[in-house]
Amino acid sequence: MTSDVEAMKPSSVSEESRSDDELRLLERDYRSLHDKAQNLITERVSLESDINKLKKRTARLDEEIRMLKSPPLIIGHVQDVLNDESAIVRSSNGTVFQVAVNQRLGISRLKPGTRVALNQDTLAVTDVLHEAWDPLVSGAELIEAPNIEYSHIGGLDEQIEKLREAIELPLERPDLFRKVGIEPPKGVLLVGPPGCGKTMIAKAVASQTNATFIRMVGSELAQKYIGEGGRMVRELFSLARDKAPAIIFLDEIDAIGAKRLDAATSGDREVQRTLMQLLAELDGFDALESVKIIAATNRPDILDDALLRPGRFDRIVEIPMPDESARKSILSIHVGRMATTRISMPRIVEATNGFTGADLKATCVEAGMAAIRDKRSKVRQADFTQAIQIVAKKRDSGPGSNSSEALYV
């Protein structure tokens, strides 16, 4: 009997070990299947996310296709709002209509003069558009200010002070003018021969003030078609008011500001219309408030009297030909940046009599080029002597030589 029990023990042990092996195999298979299931779930979530993204992209493309297939809209302007459902508009071709208004827009957004989009078929107001400016006008805003300071301008301390009093002070401290009880100057006219620093002073103002700086050349306002020049002037001042505080710089204003005569051509008459619009903007019913104007010309003798009277350009700042002290100041600024040997500044100042600021800068550049040509790292006195002769020869023999003094009165 005992032998039978002992014979049965090995078989039971073997069965238990076999069941343990099967259990381990089952656990391994379970873990493997569980990992596969988790991977499949992760893949399913990722695929569902991709499907949602594709559905959204498809919806956007369908919307773009629908918009591209939709009829074009007509641009118009609101003339009057009758009630919450209708308004009077003027279309782009000049015809006036009474039309329906989309209730989603909000009647408070529609005011006389508002620019709107009209349905091509029903002419109903479908959207409110922002005010648009001519590309020449919108591109005139200076985004990056030039790296020019007042200290970079020599010999014009008095003129810079007058300009800052008339332009910067009203923008920075308007309370001072209210306390005294006077209106600040509206604008400054810079006059003087070419190359004496008119545009450079304007660049320094753009660099040193926090106001929006808008620059435009007078010739850009002279347009071919009737009314285009006046429209650009209106948009120029409208942009300045929206960006206030702002400074408008009109260079070469004589291009549109010449004296009004009996015009012989339609082009002359259109230039005169542009001038009259400019006069109205400078001293019209609409207050400029935080908008200041700087204009520059080398022909003040041909400007219209209405442009020069007080109330438009309250200050006329003359930028003269540099005298001896001014030439010394200008040369000191340019020579101070150069690597030079020992030079005689009084001799250079004396030899450059009659030179403008632009001529003095050209002299320093020519002297530096002479040193570079000889493969030297420093400029010598002889280089300046040679440069003065070169610049003087160009002034005497070049086109329009000695014309700046003759033209400027």
Query: Domain count of the chain?
Result: 4
| Residue 138, pLDDT score | 64
Q: pLDDT tens digits for 241-287?
A: 888 788 888 888 888 888 877 656 767 777 888 888 888 888 765 66
The residue from 44, 69, 94 where one domain ends is 69
Residues 230, 369, single domain; the answer is no
Residues 314, 184, single domain; the answer is yes
The residue segments making up the domain with residue 109 are 74-128
Q: What is the mean pLDDT of residues 348-359?
A: 87
Q: Is the pLDDT of residue 6 over 80?
A: no
The residue from 46, 69, 92 where one domain ends is 69
Q: pLDDT tens digits for 78-89?
A: 888 888 888 888
Q: Which of 45, 317, 278, 289 is nearest to 161 (CA)?
A: 317
Q: pLDDT tens digits for 102-157?
A: 877 777 778 887 888 888 878 888 888 776 655 666 666 766 667 778 888 888 88
Q: Is the pLDDT of residue 402 over 80?
A: no
Residues 55, 83, single domain; the answer is no
The residue from 270, 287, 318 where one domain ends is 318
Q: What is the mean pLDDT of residues 208-237?
A: 80
How do beta strands 291-297 and 315-318 pair? unpaired
Q: Is the pLDDT of residue 399 over 60?
A: no
Residues 301, 372, single domain; the answer is no
Residues 143, 104, single domain; the answer is no
Residues 170, 297, single domain; the answer is yes
Q: Is the pLDDT of residue 77 over 80?
A: yes
Query: What CATH number corresponds to the domain at position 193?
Result: 3.40.50.300
Assign 292 a pLDDT band (cuts: 50, 70, 90).
confident
Residues 291, 194, single domain; the answer is yes
Q: Are 150 and 160 in contact, with CB atoms under 8 Å apart? A: yes
Distance, in Å, from the CA atom of 222 to the CA atom of 135, rounded to the nearest integer, reads: 15
How do beta strands 212-217 and 187-191 pair? unpaired
Instruction: Tell me how far CA of residue 163 lies from CA of 94, 181, 254, 289, 368, in angstroms.
Output: 44, 21, 20, 18, 33
Residues 194, 310, single domain; the answer is yes
Tell me the percentage of the chain whose pLDDT exceeds 90: 2
Residues 210, 109, single domain; the answer is no
Residues 360, 393, single domain; the answer is yes
Q: Is the pLDDT of residue 206 over 70?
A: yes
Residues 146, 244, single domain; the answer is yes
Predicted TM-score of the model (pTM): 0.65
| Residue 407, pLDDT score | 35
How do beta strands 86-91 and 125-128 pair? unpaired
Query: What CATH number corresponds to the domain at position 392?
Result: 1.10.8.60
**95: Cβ contacts below 8 Å, ≥ 6 apart:** none
- Which residue is it, tokens 């015009």? 263
| Residue 345, pLDDT score | 87
| Residue 404, pLDDT score | 43
Query: What CATH number corresponds to the domain at position 122?
Result: 2.40.50.140
Residues 146, 100, single domain; the answer is no
